[in-house]
Amino acid sequence: MSKVLIIDNFLSDKDCNNLINLFKKSKIKKEFRDTLVVTIKNNKLQNKLNMMAQEFNGSETDWYQIVEWPKNSSQLLHVDDFYNHTTLSSVLYLNDDYEGGETFFKDGTIVKPKRGRILVFDGLKYYHGVKQVTKGTRYASPCWYKKI
């Protein structure tokens, strides 16, 4: 697989905790399959995501969320084709005190979640999914990007 980026310590433990708390305090949670989703606006996070995406392929954030993945939740292989203008996708792992929940790709690549790690890739090109969470709750912040 080419052009996949993994950055450890993209966010600090404190920033990860703040985003999880933002999710927990939100009164506007939407059910999506077997997860709960909060669409957020966080300037500090957005600026950091934009700097990374501009360097990666000249993109900027389009939209991002915080997703709670409870025990037994998962996602089958898919591409991020909700918008045809998506140029990049990322998954920011906010915690790692659970089991399962790895991001996997059609070619067999598996990325283990690590608190503060971000995984960046072309979500329109690479089929990817989430393995079943077998213990605990996974929190992640997926983001989709567009050309500037």
pTM higher than the cut 0.75? yes
For residue 27, the model assigns a pLDDT of 93
Tokens of 104: 């996997």
- Helix or strand run (H / E) with residue 59: strand 59-69
Q: Each residue's pLDDT tens digit in the chain (148 positions)? A: 457 899 999 999 999 999 999 999 999 999 999 999 999 888 999 999 999 999 999 999 999 999 999 999 999 999 998 888 899 999 999 999 999 999 999 999 999 999 999 999 998 899 999 999 999 999 999 999 999 8
User: 102 near 74, Cβ under 8 Å?
Assistant: no
**Domain, as residue range, for 52:** 5-147
CATH number of the structural domain spanning residue 140: 2.60.120.620
Give dist(CA 44, CA 49) in Å, integer: 9
Q: What pLDDT shows up at residue 2?
A: 54
Contact 119, 56 (CB under 8 A): no
Q: Give me the number of domains the chain comprises.
A: 1
